[in-house]
Structure 1
Amino acid sequence: MKTLISKSSFHLLILIAIVSACAPSTKIIGSWKSPEAEASGYSNLFVAAMISDNYVTKKTIEDDIDELLIEKGIQAISNLEKVKPGLMLTNDNKDQVVQAIRESGRDAIMTIAIIDQTNETRYVPGTAYTPMYYGGGYGRFGGYYGMYGPMTYSPGYYATDKNYYVEINLYDSETQTLVWSAQSATTNPSSIDKAAREFAYVVVDKMIKDKIIIPTK
């Protein structure tokens, strides 16, 4: 059986490989759960993205986390929605906000913060390939020889990966103790919308696996 690959198809494969290598990806690289965490899980979360002064970035991340939690049957409200008019979590008013969170019935406080950002340059070596194409009768030497085209070479190149490391902490709102923590790594985010959605899925999935939240839907 003969596999026929044209030059255009080969170039397309090279392009896909390059794009895939630069595609954004988020993964959990570590997590911890306190033995003092509620055995039944937490079901009413306050979510605060403490990662940027940019309103759009904070809101996008908080909204995506909230939306996914609610889809799983977990109640959630974001810091930017405010548990009380005019009150938003900052480093200067934690006690006041925690009191408001308790009064609103939230049983846990989730914080999201970037802990590191790195740039890594790597060399992607070039590749050489001889594409095959149909060039005549396969039964004769001339026909067989004609099935091979000229050597195609894709030169090597340098690629720079941008890595963002984020810490996600969950605190019991009553005791204010840390009950769950995880660290994630995101590589080459292309847009805040795409990266935030992927981040939300990865984080909520890990929370469910660690049984820190118990989905009801």
Structure 2
Amino acid sequence: MKTSNKDLLHKLPYLLICIMPLFLWACVSSTRITGTWKSPEATNQQYNKIVVAALTDNIRARETVENDIQAQLQRRGVAATKSIDIFPPTASSKSGPDVNLLIDRLKDDGYDGIMTVALIDEQTETRYVPGTYSYAPVTRFGWYGRFRGYYTYWYPTLYDPGYYTEDKVYFLETNLYDESTENLVWSAQSQSYSPSSLRNASEKLAEITVGRMAQDGLIR
């Protein structure tokens, strides 16, 4: 059965009500890769034992990000280790572990790749959320002529005023280095728009990043 333009116009408000929440949810919270680069020298090599290092002095963020990436790598058969397990945070090492000690430790334990995650930029965006009307029908007549009728007719018509809100946009960079040469072999930049929580943003970042590494042939 064909649907006329008139029918579509009648259904348009209903369709918008169904679609708009999905559209707004996609705008409010999302994490995606915005660009990747792969070294021409890394055409055939796959990495099987990787240490994951989140470059932050925030212990909770470091552990969360490293946990999630480790889990995604292990699902693809990669032996992944968190840097926080090799070099736990201490009060005396504000700048992180000594890089030379880190490299020596990785060589001794047979790692072939080093994966880093760093927050490279943070921005704040202000957007306007428009107000909405809601209406509860009143099934009575002659409402205009008397106060009681007028009041009970208009009171159920409510207006929720609009407001301004701020969204956080985080820009992250994930790099994979070859342990033997210390050269950068792969890099990805990602953007996390107004994440609802560190947990959700970290899980999504790990999923899409490790998935792209597999797609680019760096891991199984």
Report the TM-score when normalising by structure 2: 0.72
TM-score where L is the length of structure 1: 0.73
How many residue pairs are counted as aligned between the two chains?
A: 188
- 8 Å Cα contact 1:83/1:101 also seen in 2: no
1:43-100 Cα offsets, whole Å, 9 max, x none, are 110100003x22121111101100110011111001011079x9x9x66621221121
Identity %: 39
CA distance in 1, matches of 2:25, 2:169: 16
Matched, 1:50 2:55: yes
> Of 33, 51, 67, which residue of structure 2 is paired with 1:28?
33
C-alpha displacement at 1:155, in angstroms? Answer: 4.9
User: Is the partner of 1:194 in helix, strand or coil?
Assistant: helix
Higher helix share: 2
Partner of 2:185: 179
- CA gap of 1:32–1:59, structure 2 versus 1, over 3 A, is same
- 5+ residue gaps in structure 2? 1-6, 140-155
Between the aligned partners of 2:100 and 2:117, the Cα distance in structure 1 is 18
In our comparison, the structure showing a higher alpha carbon Rg is 2
Quote how far apart the aligned CAs of 1:198 are: 1.0
Indicate whether 1:194 and 2:196 are aligned.
Answer: no
TM-aligned CA deviation for residue 126 of structure 1:
5.1
Q: What's the CA shift for 1:122?
A: 2.1
Task: Please state whether the residue corresponding to 2:110 is helix, strand or coil.
Answer: coil
Q: Which runs of 5+ in 1 are unaligned?
A: 136-149
Structure 2 letter corresponding to 1:58:
R
1:115, distance to aligned residue in structure 2 (A): 0.4
Cα distance in 2 between the residues matched to 1:179 and 1:19 = 37
Using a 3 Å threshold, how does the CA distance of structure 1 residues 153 and 65 change in structure 2: closer, same or farther?
same
| Other structure's SS at 1:181 match | strand
Select between 100-109 and 119-128 the one with higher mean Cα deviation: 119-128
- Amino acid of the residue matched to residue 176 of structure 1? E
